[in-house]
Amino acid sequence: MDPETIKQRITGLYADASVFIQGEGCNFEIGVISDSFRGMPVLRRQQSMLKLFETELASGALHALSIRARTPAEASASSSSLVQLDA
């Protein structure tokens, strides 16, 4: 799976999202910043993101997927080494 496809799926669900991706092939670390996460428990954020890739995870096309889903306020309180893909 390629990073651009991952980004498109995420922004399809969270249109306001800033997406940061690191990795290649079947292993990715993803950071998503969206106002949509405000008030949403961390587990629910993870579940909503994993559901976007459940077919690929079940088939093995994606082997490892690490997700960090935060609100803009949470993101500004911490730093990240992930790289943003511009549209």
35 within domain boundaries = yes
63 within domain boundaries = yes
18 within domain boundaries = yes
What was the pLDDT predicted at 84? 54
Number of domains the chain is built from: 1
81 within domain boundaries = no
Report the half-sphere exposure of 61 (CA within 13 A, side-chain side): 10
Quick: pLDDT tens for 34-79.
999 999 999 999 999 999 999 999 999 998 899 999 999 998 887 5
Say what the pTM is. Answer: 0.82
- State the CATH number of the domain containing residue 13: 3.30.300.90
Q: Which residues contact 45 (CB under 8 A, 6 or more apart)?
A: 37, 67, 69
Q: Are strands 83-84 and 64-70 parallel, antiparallel or unpaired?
A: unpaired
- Residues 32 and 70: beta-carbon distance below 8 Å: yes
87 within domain boundaries = no
Grade residue 21 by pLDDT with cuts at 50, 70 and 90.
very high
Domain that holds residue 51: 3-76
Grade residue 87 by pLDDT with cuts at 50, 70 and 90.
very low
What was the pLDDT predicted at 80? 53
86 within domain boundaries = no
Compute φ and ψ for 29, nearest 5 degrees: -115, 125
